[in-house]
Amino acid sequence: MQMIQQIISVSVYGSAIALLLIGLYAVLTKKHLIKIVIGLSIVDAGLHLLFVAVGYINNGTAPIFSPGNENRVLQMVDPVPQALVLTAIVIGFATTAVALSLIIRLYKHHKTARIDEIKTLKW
């Protein structure tokens, strides 16, 4: 049992942190703007997974009082991180949309979407 818990823990936390790092790697090294935004959304995905993972309780149920089991409060997983993630997902989409629209405008202007071909983007 201990072993199984360990495996689940490692795979959930591990994949979430791996997503964070992979996304960050893309943001820092990739040259194409769309790749950078993909990196950002991978970072976001990792964060969202971390939020949900932290709220999970072994053998918990979803935080909904469905008819019939209205008294299972003790077994519910933590609802707060889930509520926060809802907000974070929507905000993440808004940021991605703005980033993509900026890319479209940059492409119109420079006819390219690569950082190394747009001088003013270097820093």
Partner 1 sequence: MMIYIYTGAIVVLAFLLVFSALYAIKQKDLLYAVIATGVISLILSVVFLMLQAPDVALTEAAIGIALTTIAFVITIRNTSRYENDNTGINQTK
Partner 2 sequence: MNISPVHYIAFPLLAAFLIPLLAKLHKELVRIVPGIVLGYFLIISATLMMRVHETGTISQVIAGWSAPWGINLVFSAFSGFLASLMSLIGFLAWLYSYRFKKVDDEPSQKYFILMMMLVTGSIGIVLTGDIFNLFVFMEIVAISSYALTAFYTGRDSAEAAFKYLLIGSFASALILLAILLLYTQTGTLNMADLASKMHLVSTPIKASVLVLFLVGFGIESEMFPLNGWAPDAYSQAPAPIGAIFAGVVVKAGVYALIRVIFTIFGFSGAFEPLIILGLITMVVAEVSALRQDNLKRMLAFSSIGQMGVVLIAFGIGTSNAVFAALFLMFNHAIIKSLLFFSGSYLLYNSKTKSINDLKGMAKKNAFTALFFALGAFAIVGLPPFSGFWSKLYLLMSAADSHMFLLIAVILIMAVVEIVYYFRVVGKLYYSKETTDIEVTKPSINGMLVIAFLGLLILAVGFYPDLITGYLHQAADSLMDKTAYIQDVLTANI
Partner 3 sequence: MKKIFVILLLAVIGYYVTSAFQLIPFGENRIGDPTEENNVAAYYMNNTKEKSQVANVVTAIVVNYRGFDTLGEVTVLFLATTGLGSILYRRKEEEEERLNKPSSSLLQTGSKLLFPLVVLLGIYVFIHGHLTPGGGFQGGAIIATGFLLMLIAYQKYHVGHSMLNWVESLAGITFVTIGLWGLLTGGTFLENSFLPMGTLNSLISGGAIPIIYIAVGFKVAAELTGVLDILLNTKEK
Q: Which residues bind partner 1 (CB under 8 A)?
A: 4, 7-8, 11-12, 14-15, 18-19, 22-23, 25-26, 30-32, 34-35, 37-39, 41-42, 45, 48-49, 52-53, 55-56, 60-64, 77, 82, 85-86, 89-90, 93, 96-97, 100, 103-104, 107, 110-114, 117
Rounded distance, CA 70 to CA 61, Å?
12
Q: Which one of partner 3, partner 1, partner 2, none is in contact with 38 (Cβ closer than 5 to 8 A by kind)? A: partner 1
Rounded distance, CA 5 to CA 37, Å?
34
Shortest Å distance, C-beta 35 to partner 2: 12
CA 116 vs. chain centroid, Å, equals 27
Rounded distance, CA 83 to CA 88, Å?
9
Rounded distance, CA 103 to CA 13, Å?
33
- With 0-12 / 13-18 / 19 or more C-beta atoms within 10 angstroms meaning exposed / middle / buried, residue 110 is middle
Residues lying near partner 3 in the complex (CB under 8 A): 5, 8-9, 12-13, 17, 20-21, 24-25, 28-29, 50, 53-54, 56-58, 62-67, 70, 73-74, 76, 78-80, 82-83, 86-87, 89-91, 93-95, 97-98, 100-102, 104-105, 107-108
